[in-house]
Every structure is written in C-alpha cells, then in structure tokens.
Amino acid sequence: MAAGSPEKNGDAADKSHLPIPAFDPPKKPKRNKYALACSFLASMTSILLGYDIGVMSGAIIYIRKDIDMTDVQKEVIMGILNVYSLLGSAAAGRTSDWIGRRYTIVFAGAIFFTGALLMGFATSYAFLMVGRFVAGIGVGYALMIAPVYTAELAPASSRGFLSSFPEVFINFGILLGYVSNYAFSKLPQHLGWRLMLGIGAIPSVFIAIAVLAMPESPRWLVMQGRLGDAKRVLDKTSDSLEESKLRLADIKEAADIPEHCNDDIVSVPKRHHGEGVWRELLLHPTPTVRHILMCAVGIHFFQQASGIDSVVLYSPEIFKRAGITNDTDALLATMGVGFTKTIFILVATFLLDKIGRRPLLLSSVAGMILSLVGLGVGLTIIENSDHKLTWAIALCISTVLSYVAFFSIGMGPITWVYSSEIFPLRLRAQGCSMGVAMNRVTSGVISMTFISLYKAISIGGAFFLYGGIAVVAWMFFYTLYPETQGKTLEEMDTLFGTFFRWRSTARVIEEKKKNESNGQVQMGNATTNQS
C-alpha cells in the first residue's frame, strides 16, 4: 500500500499538469498567409476602377483642350463608365457561377485591357465613349467578383481584414491615377492624356498572370460537386483542420449535399447557375433575405450618394473653385487626396476585425457629415467673397482631406465587406451583383450631375446636399445593421430577418453561445473530477 501511494500521488501530480481545454483561454489564430496571398491577388482587379477614377479627374483637363466638348459632355464622359459597368456587374454573377470565380477575374482584366487601349488611341469624343464602354464592362466584372471570391476564401477570424482588400486597391488605383496625371502633364497636350488613359492596360496583364497562382473558391468547387478539391483549398485557407471540416460541412449543407457524401466528386443538382435565385431574391424573399437585400443594396447606395465620386473625380475642379487656379497646383493638391485615402484605408484594414463593422461604419459616416458641412461652408464663403481668403482655402483643403479619410476608414471598405459576407451561398453571387449594380447606378448619377448640380444650387449647396444624405445614411445604418464581426458566413440567417428588432436576436445568439460555453466548462469539471 505504501508503495502504491507514491505511484497514485505521482499520477495525480501528472494529471494536474494536463491542460483542461475548457479553462485554457483560446489562442488567437495566426494570420493565414495562404488566404492572405490569394485575397491580395484577387483584389488587384479593383485597381482597374480606382485607376480610371483617379486618372480621369486630371486627364479631362487636357482632353477638353484637345477634343471640344460641352460641360454636359464632360459630365457624361467622366461618369458614364459607372453606368456601363452595370452590364458587367449584372453579367458577373452568372458568369462566376458558370466558369468559376478565378476565370471571371481573368475575363475582367482582359476586357479592361481592351478598353484602356481604345481610350488611349481615341481620336474623337465618340471613339473615347467606345473605350469607356468596354472598360466599364471590365470594371463591373472586377467590382463584383473580388469581394465574393475573398469572402468565400477567407476564414472567419480575418474575413473583415481580407474582404477590405478590394477597397484598398481601389484607393491604390486612384493614387496611381493621380500620380499618372502629374507625371504626364508636362508632355505635349495630344500625347499626355492618351498615355494617362492607355497605361491603365498594364495592371490587367499582371492580374491575368496572378490568377495562375490562385486556387478556385471552395464554395464554387462544392457547387460543382468537387468536394476533394474544395477540401484541399479549405485545409490551406482555414485557421485549423477542425475549422476546415466545419466550413466544408456548412457549405455542403447550403449546397444540399448530404453530410455522409465525402467522395472527391459527387453529383449536385444543376440549380446553382441562377435558376430560381432571382425569384427568391426579388419575387418571394423570406424576411431574412429581404433584410439582407435591404442592407446590401442600402449600403452601396449611401456609399455613393454621400458624394465620394464627386470629391474624387472633381478634386481639381473643387480646388480651383476654392482658389487654387494653377493646373499643376490643383493636381498636386489632388495627389494629397489620393495619399490620404490610401493611408487611411490601410489603417481601416487592421481595425475591421478588432473594432467591428458597426462602430467603424457609424463613426466614419459621422466624420463625413462634419467634413461635408465644413466644405460646404468654406466653398460658400469663398464664392460670395470678392477677395482671396486664405483661411477659407485652408478649410476647404482640410475638409476634403478629412472627408476622404473618414470615408476610407469605414464607409469605403465596410460596404464591400458587409455586402459580401451577409448573403447565403445560394444567393451570394447574384445578391452581390445587385449591390454593385446599385453602387454603379448611384455613382453614375452623382458623377454625371455634379457640374449641373453646383451650377443650379451653388458648389457649397451641393456639398450641403451630400451632407444631408449622409445624415439619413447614419440613421439607416444605426437602426437596421447588425454587427457581423466573427460570424461564419452560414450563421447570417439567424442574425437577419427581424429588421429593427435585430438587437434582441443578437442577444439571443449571445445567450446561446454563453450557455454552450458554460456547458463545456461543466463537462470539463466533470471530466476532471472523474480523473
């Protein structure tokens, strides 16, 4: 007995050092480098839109000197790409379900490449419009596919960070466009603007090459019945093998594949190419789908209706109205806008998964409102003054910079993150394409009416109007938008559907998680006592 006691005591001592999973604090998973690289490459397609927006803001100064056009024609050529991109975004949902997310990215780059070359060789207004049309189709494809691919590839722990990449690259593209304006502005008039537009074809080539290193979306693979390929991608892009298994099970359930089916290739009913999806989205939506659709389309509308494209596209015009009359000085000030947007969007990417979507979105819109009001005040004072007011010019420049900074830290990236993560799998491609369609329609209307608007109600009045729209946006987001941070893509069904009462639903979900956690702790205690 005496000899046995030390052994028992030794066993007890050994067991006391064994970790108890229920009590060990969960370790924060390391950033998945493979998912990071894939999201980075896919999001490069967004450079196409950003470059076009940035480069047209300065190129139009020289285009108007080389090709005669009215103010209305100037508005149209500036904003029409957004309307043309509707066709691309509308077709992208079906195309991405048909040929896959990966090859849709290649398709987007090829179309934009053609459009950029056409714009670079344009000899007339009509020729330039043809180039804008082709480039717009490519932009529509790129805008829709990058967020969808990233959301479907990313693990839940870093989905916000990775899904913000498209907005990062839009901003980087805008900055490249501004730099291109300044770099080629000293060239002969007929050559400078053509190089500004034509050189936009170069990123398309890099995008096509980058796709060779990317896997296909695991959700698309499951929809094709390729479970083996999907499992391999999920194993690489998940934070753990357990998470990979859970993600695969969730995707199989959403795709109506029985849980026991684990073959590499399985048969899937061919209903995931758009059949019935539009009916479920528009004609007979459930309360959950209606709430999701309202949020996705609403956030895209308000992102553009609050005037971001007017500020970015017409920055040189705004600075001239504020008193900076030299073209080169206006382009330099515009480059400051590009740098500010890019810096703050990089800050936002690291905050999305730490602070959450709602706090960033609401604080972003609040800052935009203050900036728009300040810009409206500054421009109104300058317009009604008969002499130069340095302080008013400084106010206009600082409020333009603060506006794009606040936009980039919340409203810009969260629009793409939020709308791409809330749709269920069966509706995701078409639902996201509807959000992008609203984004492009609103952007087209705003950018094609800015000059007419400020001539009708004054340039200060235009920004007061945008500020009023931003106030409505803040109230809309506050009342209807639940927090989605940390939720798996397949959990969204329980979070949406109660509209203005979503907070009570969120509390129920949290209570359920607490109870499950307590149950695990009790099981851990029971196991320890038995030992």
Domains and CATH numbers, the chain: 31-265 (1.20.1250.20), 276-524 (1.20.1250.20)
Query: How far, in Å, CA of 171 to CA of 161, rounded?
Result: 15
Rounded-to-integer distance, Cα 346 and Cα 99, Å: 32
* Nearest Cα residue to 59 out of 231, 184, 218: 184
Q: What is the pLDDT of residue 479?
A: 94
Q: Give CA–CA dist 103/513, Å, rounded.
A: 39
Characterize 275-307 residue by residue with b for buried, 16 or more Cβ atoms within 10 angstroms of its Cβ, and e for exposed: eebeebbeeebeebbebbbbbbbbbbbbbbbbb
CA distances from 486 to 234, 236, 239, 354 (A): 18, 19, 13, 10
Q: 3-state DSSP call for residue 103?
A: helix
pLDDT of residue 490: 60
* CA distance linking residue 494 with residue 375, whole number of Å: 42
Rounded distance between C-alpha atoms, residue 317 and residue 325, angstroms: 9
Supply the DSSP string of 286-303, one letter for each residue.
-HHHHHHHHHHHHHHHHH
Alpha-carbon span 410 to 165, nearest angstrom: 13
Q: Helix or strand or coil: residue 150?
A: helix
Write down the pLDDT at residue 7. Answer: 42
How many Cβ atoms from other residues are within 10 Å of residue 63's Cβ? Answer: 24
Task: Quote the distance between the C-alpha of residue 476 and its chain's center.
Answer: 19
Per-residue confidence (pLDDT) for residue 190, from 0 to 100: 80
d(CA 167, CA 347): 12
**Residue 31 gets which letter from DSSP?**
P
Count, residues in the chain: 531
Q: In the structure encoding, which two tokens stand for residue 188, read together?
A: 């002969």
Q: How far apart are CA 19 and CA 71, in angstroms?
A: 72
What pLDDT, on a 0 to 100 scale, did the predictor assign at position 271?
Answer: 54
Q: What are the start-end ranges of the H helices in 481-501?
A: 492-495
Instruction: Give the tokens for residue 149.
Output: 């691919």
**pLDDT score for 23:** 44
- In the predicted model, residues of the chain with pLDDT beneath 70 are 1-30, 160, 269-275, 488-491, 513, 516-531
Measured over the CA atoms of residue 347, residue 473, residue 147 and residue 32, the dihedral's sign is: positive
d(Cα 68, Cα 54) in Å, to the nearest integer?
Answer: 22
* Contact present, 466 and 403 (Cβ < 8 Å): no
Report the pLDDT value the prediction gives residue 408, as an integer from 0 to 100: 92
Does the predicted TM-score (pTM) go above 0.85? no
Query: CA 234 to CA 218: how far, in whole Å?
Result: 7
pLDDT score for 21: 45
Residue 347's closest CA among 403, 412, 396? 412
Q: How far is CA 229 from CA 251, 460, 507, in A?
A: 13, 56, 38
Contacts of 183 (CB under 8 A, 6+ apart): none
